[in-house]
Structure 1
Amino acid sequence: MKKIVFVLLLVFAAIGAFAAAAAEPIVQATVTSYPSGIVPGNDGYLQISFKNIGTATATQIKITNIFTEAPVLFGNWNGDIGPLAVGDSMTTTLKFSVPGNTAPGIYSVTLAVDYCDGSSCKTIYPTGVISVQSSPSNLEVTSLSPKSLKLGESTKMNITITNRGNVASNIIFTMTSSDGALLPIGSTNRIVIPSIGANSYYEVHPEVVVNPSATPGIHSVIITLQYTDKAGLNQTIASTAGFEISGETDFDVTLQDYTTGMVTLSVINTGLAPAYSTVVRIPPQDQFKVPGSYTSVLGNLNSGDYSESSFQILPLKNATGGKLLVEISYTDMLGVRRSLQKEVLIMPTNTSAMISRGGNSHTISQGMTYIIIGII
């Protein structure tokens, strides 16, 4: 009986010694990349999940190194994780960047992770993958000028198309006015662009004219870009851009009559928009003075209308002639108060007066002391 008890004690002692010797931490780690697919030029994160499936606490867990096939940049990172008790889990993240010139593909990332049990330490090498995808073409209209146009005005617009993604080819640009306020000249609302490289831009210059019957204010155009992306797929992007049709107009100032010391001017609205509360003024100037009233109120002038204003003018500093400055102020259709200046050239003569409008001149016999030329 004593022998049996002794044998049992020996067996239990051996089992206890074996169990004590077998108690150790076992750390498992998994690596996951977020997002699952990343475009060059963007940032991502590695999520590292740790779990202790052993029978003792793991201490001094630390990421000591990172190995990757891709030109991925991890910058500054802290690999200290700390202890992990039996059965516990823990998660940490590392931020990385993918340079813009990285080729698409699947790249492996391996971490060196140390953990210890007392003075005994081990290293494990969990591995994950980073999926770098080709960046899609991303075309957008980034600028449009001029932003303000006049009724009836024709101009070449400057429109910038920027590609913030991969190369785009066979691009067809079209621009359509949503309400007919802006009309193409010829067929230039459709422009073919061979290609726009990645992170590049391209400028197009469609010729347009503002519809004379359009209403001043804010109008829009729809710009459509049809193109082929790097994968050979056809893509279409439509965007809306705004521009202003101003209520500006223009005037001609011509000599209507002249007698000694008195000049009568004819002011004509040569633009396509009406002018409200129109005022003509002779501002202070070097060569002439106005001894009487220097302001004349003309009121409202529709397109093509004209009105007359008379002023007393006297030459200064023994001047025998010169340029008479005339200022016209008015309120446009959008309620904006505007001013512009015209010049009338006065020259001494006793034979005739020459009147110029828009570059075309004709002679009027006046038998006066000055030749007076209206310059537009």
Structure 2
Amino acid sequence: MKKFSLLKILLLYLVFICLGAGTALASNGNIQSSFLEVDLTKQNPDAARPGEPVELTVSIQNVGNADLKDIVVTVNPKYPFSKISGEDLTKKVSYLNARQDDDDAAVLKFKLMTDANASEGTYDIDITTTAKESGSSSNVITITKTIQLEVRGKEYAQIVTINKASIDLAKEEPLEFIITNTGNSPLKNMVISWKDPKGVILPVYSDNTKYIKYLAAGDSVTVSYSVMADVNADPGLYTLNVNLSFEDYNSNEKNIATTAGLFVGGETDFDVSFSESDQGEISLSVANVGNNMAYSVKVSVPDQNGYRVSGSSSTIVGNLEKGDYTIASFNVASTQGVGGTESSAGTSGEAARAREKDENVTSKGSNPLKVQIEYTDARGERVTVDKEVKLETTAGSMTAQGRARPGAAGNSSGFSSYLVYIVLIAVAGAGLIIYRKKRQTEGEKQSENKKPEDQKHGSGTGSGTIRD
């Protein structure tokens, strides 16, 4: 009986000690007699987006045995989240009854801004809550709850560059689009397409649509086409409507529409051929063999070894439409001697006579004549084209190789003058010889006619003497 009483007394003593300790702990706010539960019940959007706000819904619930008052809830943002101007990060609840269920909890909303350069991932945010027990001004409860917010990288693509600004008419040319994922999340199932509303520029060998299955953040991809512009199109700047679609994180399709400019038309080409030569003047046929018109065309014979231009070395022939041609003439003399050697202006008389002697000898190794064509293209830019015309040269004369006209002398002006003098002297000499022969013949005839008369006169004299 005594043992039982002693045991009972000991147990009761321990119970009183525990109750005393519990009261002391309760006064420090460290037991659940006054306890708060803080939870993140909703995040909008479900994943925060870089450069966009995110809204947090927080529930505050008193599950303790004591009523609470002056509840203060503060959100402490850290990178990549920050305060939005005009939005409070601290909110208050005046009173919370004890032993609340979920329906009685206080609901608070906070807004934060997500940094535009935030990377995809999960980030921690602390929510601090303070409260006082009702009926006690000194017992303050403080609870810090750490929550996690998901950041979804921004899905965005950009068509950074197009590889060229112009294409030629009726000519197959490559066209490349460089697409870059400028967001923070990978892109998938991308589709790029483009269209010229006027139908001048069209793809060849494929349609205008290309597919990209996956593009990581920060990566670029090149999409290539072969395109051609209508040969009958007017030169000018044409618009390309470019569309880029892709799937976002929630498999929703997004579209990015943009425009680009592409100039159609530009440079052209020429064919230059020998036309004819006459007395040191050569004529060149210049044809526009390209697909674009050439404006303000100028044809020139530049300074070069083997040829000398007297007079103007260039001529303006005006505009040449595609397929048109014109004739440009120049006074050009060959300074190339026999065998392709070049003679100087001060050639000695002996060398000149040697050249005259070999005037009918053709120089097979002569240099081609260089011709320069300048014109303004459809973009308004001045373009220079260099051409060469292969000629066969004789001493001071020029003909197109294999295309010499029968009987065409083509002599230079100096040699022509010299030849004229020789012909005149020959003609004068021949005339003088004929004249002298004619006089000699007439003299002989006169002598023959006088002999009989002299004989008659002699006999008459004699007879007359006899009569005397």
Q: TM-score, normalised by structure 1?
A: 0.62
Shift of residue 307 of structure 1? 0.5
Superposed CA RMSD: 4.4
Structure 2 residue 387 is matched with structure 1 residue 343: yes
**AA in 2 matched with 1:149:** I
8 Å contact from structure 2 (residues 274, 389) kept in 1 = no
Q: Deviations over 1:187-221 (max 9, x none)?
A: 24122222211121110111100111222221111
Q: Indicate which of 151, 163, 167 corresponds to 1:133.
A: 151
Structure 2 residue 245 is matched with structure 1 residue 230: no
8 Å contact from structure 2 (residues 299, 317) kept in 1 = yes
Alignment match, 1:107: 124
Which structure 2 segments of 5+ residues have no match? 1-43, 55-68, 71-75, 82-111, 131-139, 343-364, 411-468
Label 1:207 to 1:369 Cα distance change in 2 as closer, same or farther (>3 A): farther
Structure 2 residue 367 is matched with structure 1 residue 322: yes
Structure 2 residue 161 is matched with structure 1 residue 143: yes
Give 3-state SS (helix, strand or coil) of 1:39's partner: coil
Alignment match, 1:191: 210
Mapping 1:280-319, distance limit 5 Å: 280-315=299-334, 318-319=341-342
Shift of residue 139 of structure 1? 1.8
Query: How far apart, CA to CA, are the structure 2 residues paired with 1:221 and 1:130?
Result: 46
Shift of residue 349 of structure 1? 6.5
**AA in 2 matched with 1:158:** E
Structure 2 residue 174 is matched with structure 1 residue 174: no
8 Å contact from structure 2 (residues 49, 114) kept in 1 = no
Shift of residue 97 of structure 1? 5.5
8 Å contact from structure 2 (residues 167, 266) kept in 1 = no
Determine what percentage of the aligned residue pairs are the same residue.
25
Label 1:124 to 1:311 Cα distance change in 2 as closer, same or farther (>3 A): farther
Query: How far apart, CA to CA, are the structure 1 residues paired with 2:159 and 2:323?
Result: 39
Shift of residue 345 of structure 1? 4.3
Alignment match, 1:157: 175
Label 1:254 to 1:107 Cα distance change in 2 as closer, same or farther (>3 A): same
Label 1:135 to 1:266 Cα distance change in 2 as closer, same or farther (>3 A): same
Structure 2 residue 287 is matched with structure 1 residue 268: yes
Shift of residue 291 of structure 1? 1.6
Q: Deviations over 1:233-281 (max 9, x none)?
A: 2223222111112343321112222457433211111122322332211
Give 3-state SS (helix, strand or coil) of 2:310's partner: coil
Tell me whether 187-196 or 202-211 shows the greater mean CA deviation.
Answer: 187-196
Between structures 1 and 2, the one with greater strand share: 1
Alignment match, 1:219: 238
Mapping 1:15-94, distance limit 5 Å: 38-40=48-50, 72=79
**AA in 1 matched with 2:209:** R
Query: How far apart, CA to CA, are the structure 2 residues paired with 1:306 and 1:111?
Result: 89
Give 3-state SS (helix, strand or coil) of 1:242's partner: strand
Query: How far apart, CA to CA, are the structure 2 residues paired with 1:348 and 1:321?
Result: 7
**AA in 2 matched with 1:226:** S
Query: How far apart, CA to CA, are the structure 2 residues paired with 1:152 and 1:111?
Result: 72
8 Å contact from structure 1 (residues 111, 127) kept in 2 = yes
Q: Deviations over 1:9-45 (max 9, x none)?
A: xxxxxxxxxxxxxxxxxxxxxxxxxx987435x6999
Q: Indicate which of 254, 265, 272 corresponds to 2:273.
A: 254
Give 3-state SS (helix, strand or coil) of 2:49's partner: coil
Equivalent residue pairs, number: 288
Shift of residue 155 of structure 1? 0.4
8 Å contact from structure 1 (residues 220, 242) kept in 2 = yes
Which structure 1 segments of 5+ residues have no match? 1-34, 46-52, 55-65, 75-93, 114-121, 355-362, 371-376
Alignment match, 2:5: none
Q: Deviations over 1:129-160 (max 9, x none)?
A: 67443124212211112101222222011211
Alignment match, 1:15: none
Q: Which protein shows a greater Rg?
A: 2
**AA in 2 matched with 1:300:** N
Query: How far apart, CA to CA, are the structure 2 residues paired with 1:238 and 1:201?
Result: 18
Q: Deviations over 1:80-130 (max 9, x none)?
A: xxxxxxxxxxxxxx9995865441x463236899xxxxxxxx997766867
8 Å contact from structure 1 (residues 276, 332) kept in 2 = yes
8 Å contact from structure 2 (residues 120, 151) kept in 1 = no
Give 3-state SS (helix, strand or coil) of 1:212's partner: coil
8 Å contact from structure 2 (residues 299, 374) kept in 1 = yes
Shift of residue 230 of structure 1? 3.1
8 Å contact from structure 1 (residues 255, 266) kept in 2 = yes
Query: How far apart, CA to CA, are the structure 2 residues paired with 1:112 and 1:260?
Result: 110
8 Å contact from structure 1 (residues 222, 240) kept in 2 = yes
Label 1:207 to 1:244 Cα distance change in 2 as closer, same or farther (>3 A): same
Shift of residue 282 of structure 1? 1.7
Alignment match, 2:108: none
